[in-house]
Structure 1
Amino acid sequence: MKWTIDPTFYPSARIAMESPPEKLAYVVALNPLALSGKDNGRARGDVLAVIDLDPGSKTYGQVVNRLEMPYPGDELHHFGWNACSSSLCPQSPHPHLERRYLVVPGLRSSRIYIIDTKPDPLSPKIVKIIEPEVLKKRTGYSRPHTVHCGPEGIYVSALGSDQGEGPGGIFLLDHFSFDPLGMWEIDRGSQYYAYDFWWHINQDILVSSEWGTPPMVENGVVGSLLMEGRYGHKLHLWDLKKRRHLQELDLGEDYQMALEVRPAHDPRKSYGFLGVVVSRKDLSSSVWLWFKDKQGWQIKKVIEIPALDASKELLPPLLQPFGKVPPLVTDINLSLDDRYLYVSCWGTGELRKYLVDDPLNPKLVGCLKIGGIVSGFPHPKNPQKALSGGPQMVEVSRDGKRIYLTNSLYWAWDEQFYPGGIEGWMVKIHSTPTSFEFEKDFFVEFPGLRAHQVRLQGGDSSTDSFCFP
């Protein structure tokens, strides 16, 4: 039998950037009614929405299908493809996989949905459900969070243990059956908190970050823990093959919630960017660079974004004692050519664009404003309407020319920072070396729902790992 390689697998980031533009997006959207305590038994499940991204289509910029989950209260969050370009790596045993299934975890329920996007990409279907009891029994973990397709399985991080506390960590799913295989770590060393992870796949290095255990995050930010420096503030380095902890890089207790990790896409490079939500000293946010030099692995703060003064009456109760609105960097994304880093400031309502071809010296080259705790910046399509939420999940097309934004973070945190409520939206931005602007007529609304992560058909900048330069 002759195997056919999936045409959406690319040996290098450069070749991926030459691929056709995406025509569909898949977006998970939270149904907040199920978590509000006000549902009176009327709450329905979260939704996977299909968005038409083909400018030549009659339904361009519209939700063209909705797949509703059968259970309310899952809190669909970060999700990913079952397979990607890492399948072309020389060490991969499964080059004949295809990018077909979406692995969609429920962060609150610990339930995982396997969703088939074929034969009709417009009408995805649930083909398997991994129930919480099975996940906990097979892996020892709960609260699945981040999904990455790897060379020997589907990697998923988890915030909590099977008992709902810590340690969090990583587990694997089988590429074909999607059965949970078990806990990934052989020796976790000093690691206890978990959140995001990715790798330098050719160097056999996995990098993981920290948020907190489920009780520290599920009911919102715990102010006392924040002020005590108890949230995650470390980056962990692992031997990818041996599954053993190698080293921790501590940012210090002033820097709380070290979340998104974005390693360079070029497999010859040994560096990446880490987004940090807040400083307990001044409520600023920051981005850090991890890198390897002659002295070994290092980490350095390369971007700092200050909090802004604000009238207390405009702030939610959590922030009123400070009289400031923090940037709250809750997502970052790196273009496939490793030139531009996009930074979401969910609190102040800014999407920042940095030139990072010299990663130790990023340069701010663009800033767009939308939403925000105090400002509520409008979208060009309706310049009179203040928007709730702010730039949260940011996704970059393979060629780097289109950016997609959604506005919801996590239900309990939405309620704390935007107590007036969040109405879900998704916007599109055009980005080139000389321009950075909203597409004026592209504004997707999600009535009664809160949009979170975006996945692009055929892959995107936070999906693929490449093994060839």
Structure 2
Amino acid sequence: MAKWVGTDPTFYPSAKSAMEAPREKLGYVALLQPDALGVIDLDPDSETYGQLIHQLLLPGEEEDELHHFGWNACSSALCPTAFHPTLERRYLILPGIRSSRIYIVDTQPDPKRPRIVRTIEPEEIKERTGYSRLHTVHCGPDGIFISALGSGDGDGGPGGILVLDHFNFNVLGAWEMDRGPQHFSYDFWWHIAHDVTVTSEWATPDLFENGLQLDALLQRKYGHKMHFFDSRSRKHLTEIDFGDQHQMVLELRPAHNPKKTYGFVSVVTDVTNLASSIWTWYQENGKWDVKKIIEIPAQPAEPDQLPPALKDVGAVPPLVTDIVLSLDDRYLYVPCWGTGELRQYDVSDPFNAKLTGKVEIGGIVNQKAHPNGKKITGGPQMVELSRDGKRLYFSNSLYSSWDDQFYPEGIKGAVVKVDILAEGGMEIDPDFLIQLEKGRAHQIRLDGGDCSTDTFCYP
């Protein structure tokens, strides 16, 4: 099903070569309420530029809640360890975080009207892997990898990673041979040239599915660790504990240069002051460690301005729950969903981040309108960056039950475009705004790849 004759022209051996790729012309966005895959026209020469031109409605009878979907194949197919450089970046793998169902979506022959070609039901996934609540998709050189937040037995854990076959999308099984002390699951990535896989921690479904459990947060029951595995033996190597005041260690973004052994990880909140933070993980003298490089403080607010979940704390936390790193490893983009900010940091020195730009839009209090004057509910949440680093797109919904807690007036789904200035800084494009008539928007993927899709094996 997934075979391709020749090498896909969207595969690049290095991040530097990928930065020279043609501009994206389409974006794919996860929609919810109702569940659908949206197609956005990103070709400035098109008559429908900046519009949602198609929605592929999902047929599931119960709520799927699409989350972090991804491509079936990417530049990792060019790695020396890959045995199938004839794969094609063609299929989108759409997991439902609530349903534990997977949809295989073919973007050919018409990329503007993708179609479902296979559905993998949750019963098969639970039987073959022991996992449920599927979250993040990454394409590796030896399979399609998907993180799962729950076990197959219910709302608890442990969560982990499962693998699909590249060619027929069959569920192969759970990835881990020895998970060690790892229990919570969330994101995962790898230092592919060093045979190291990295995972992070959010929570088990009983702690997130029906909203943030504030009592559990104050009792420090959410994830606060990173884990390192040997990619070949699939065995746990070591863990790093951030300290249980740092709750929810989420998004992992390793350096795109495969020679480097560092990356960036976001932490949602410090329960002592509600700040969000960014940390650099790194290897030194054969050991893994982390260093906090950015702390974004909460913003004081009057109780009558705040939703019920925050009235007692008297402040708006940044709630950083996504990040994206430019392909040249220079700029890190940090959306603050609670305070309505998007920040740009120069991380050329990964241990000394410098704030180089900021835009404000949405937010829990003092909501900032779009430059065209239209109101934006929610705030910058899921971010994606073009391969050349010149255009960033973001959506404004985090997770339906959490949306309702922090934005009880409701979120109107939106996609916003930000132009990146040549020497640092950024501006919201006043002429680009997609607002849904109903429903919400989450993960965004760009045709041909983007800055959080590919693994590169050559520097």
Coarse TM-score class (shorter-chain normalised): over 0.9
Question: Conserved in 2, the CA contact under 8 Å of 1:146 and 1:156?
Answer: yes
Question: Conserved in 1, the CA contact under 8 Å of 2:144 and 2:164?
Answer: yes
Which residue of structure 2 aligns with residue 15 of structure 1?
Answer: 17
Give 1:52-201 correspondences, 5 Å limit. 52-71=41-60, 72-164=62-154, 165-201=156-192
Distance 1:410 1:190, change over 3 A: same
Task: Give the Cα–Cα distance (whole angstroms) in 1 for the partners of residues 5 and 399 of structure 2.
Answer: 41
Which residue of structure 1 aligns with residue 405 of structure 2?
Answer: 416
Task: Give the Cα–Cα distance (whole angstroms) in 2 for the partners of residues 291 and 300 of structure 1.
Answer: 8
2:353 is aligned with 1:351: no
Which residue of structure 2 aligns with residue 41 of structure 1?
Answer: none
Task: Give the Cα–Cα distance (whole angstroms) in 2 for the partners of residues 2 and 328 of structure 1.
Answer: 41
Which residue of structure 1 aligns with residue 383 of structure 2?
Answer: 394
Matching residue within 272, 275, 285 for 1:284: 275
Task: Give the Cα–Cα distance (whole angstroms) in 2 for the partners of residues 294 and 340 of structure 1.
Answer: 26
- The CA RMSD over aligned residues, in Å, is 1.1
- Secondary structure of the 1:86 match is helix
Which residue of structure 2 aligns with residue 312 of structure 1?
Answer: 303
Task: Give the Cα–Cα distance (whole angstroms) in 2 for the partners of residues 375 and 340 of structure 1.
Answer: 28
Which residue of structure 1 aligns with residue 36 of structure 2?
Answer: 47
2:27 is aligned with 1:25: yes
1:244-296 Cα shifts (integer Å, max 9, x gaps): 10000110000000000000000000000000001100100000110011261
Distance 1:222 1:435, change over 3 A: closer
Task: Give the Cα–Cα distance (whole angstroms) in 2 for the partners of residues 390 and 58 of structure 1.
Answer: 28
Offset at residue 2 of structure 1 (A): 10
Distance 1:357 1:434, change over 3 A: closer
Question: Conserved in 1, the CA contact under 8 Å of 2:358 and 2:425?
Answer: no
Task: Give the Cα–Cα distance (whole angstroms) in 2 for the partners of residues 386 and 97 of structure 1.
Answer: 43
Task: Give the Cα–Cα distance (whole angstroms) in 1 for the partners of residues 71 and 391 of structure 2.
Answer: 20
Unmatched 5+ stretches in structure 2? none
Question: Conserved in 2, the CA contact under 8 Å of 1:349 and 1:375?
Answer: no
Aligned residues: 454
Q: Report the TM-score, using the length of structure 2 for normalisation.
A: 0.98
Q: Match for 1:199: what amino acid? A: W
Which residue of structure 2 aligns with residue 220 of structure 1?
Answer: 211
- Secondary structure of the 1:274 match is strand
1:379-409 Cα shifts (integer Å, max 9, x gaps): 0112xx4321000000010000000000000
Q: Match for 1:239: what amino acid? A: D
1:110-169 Cα shifts (integer Å, max 9, x gaps): 001000000110010000000010110011100010000001100000000001210000
Structure 1: which 4+ aligned runs deviate by more than 3 Å? none
1:383-436 Cα shifts (integer Å, max 9, x gaps): xx4321000000010000000000000001000000110000001011132441
- Secondary structure of the 1:224 match is helix
Question: Conserved in 2, the CA contact under 8 Å of 1:202 and 1:267?
Answer: yes
Q: Report the TM-score, using the length of structure 1 for normalisation.
A: 0.96
Which residue of structure 2 aligns with residue 454 of structure 1?
Answer: 444
2:456 is aligned with 1:466: yes
Task: Give the Cα–Cα distance (whole angstroms) in 2 for the partners of residues 392 and 234 of structure 1.
Answer: 22
- Secondary structure of the 2:321 match is strand
Task: Give the Cα–Cα distance (whole angstroms) in 1 for the partners of residues 216 and 289 of structure 2.
Answer: 27
Which residue of structure 2 aligns with residue 274 of structure 1?
Answer: 265
2:360 is aligned with 1:369: yes
1:15-63 Cα shifts (integer Å, max 9, x gaps): 00000000000001110xxxxxxxxxxxxx4011100000111000001
2:425 is aligned with 1:425: no
Q: Match for 1:119: what amino acid? A: P
- Secondary structure of the 1:202 match is helix
Distance 1:434 1:188, change over 3 A: closer
Offset at residue 93 of structure 1 (A): 1.2
Question: Conserved in 1, the CA contact under 8 Å of 2:344 and 2:425?
Answer: no
Unmatched 5+ stretches in structure 1? 32-44
Q: Match for 1:298: what amino acid? A: D
Distance 1:67 1:3, change over 3 A: closer
1:279-322 Cα shifts (integer Å, max 9, x gaps): 10010000011001126111111100000100101101111111
Task: Give the Cα–Cα distance (whole angstroms) in 2 for the partners of residues 343 and 394 of structure 1.
Answer: 8
Q: Match for 1:458: what amino acid? A: G
Q: Match for 2:304: what amino acid? A: E
Offset at residue 6 of structure 1 (A): 0.2
1:195-221 Cα shifts (integer Å, max 9, x gaps): 000000000000000000001100111
2:246 is aligned with 1:244: no
Question: Conserved in 1, the CA contact under 8 Å of 2:383 and 2:392?
Answer: yes
Q: Match for 1:351: what amino acid? A: L
Offset at residue 176 of structure 1 (A): 1.1
1:349-386 Cα shifts (integer Å, max 9, x gaps): 0000000000100000000001101121110112xx43
Give 1:324-363 correspondences, 5 Å limit. 324-363=315-354
Identity over aligned residues, as a percent?
60
Task: Give the Cα–Cα distance (whole angstroms) in 2 for the partners of residues 217 and 400 of structure 1.
Answer: 33
Offset at residue 3 of structure 1 (A): 4.3
Question: Conserved in 2, the CA contact under 8 Å of 1:335 and 1:400?
Answer: yes
Distance 1:434 1:260, change over 3 A: closer
Task: Give the Cα–Cα distance (whole angstroms) in 1 for the partners of residues 266 and 225 of structure 2.
Answer: 11
Question: Conserved in 2, the CA contact under 8 Å of 1:260 and 1:331?
Answer: yes
- Secondary structure of the 1:331 match is coil
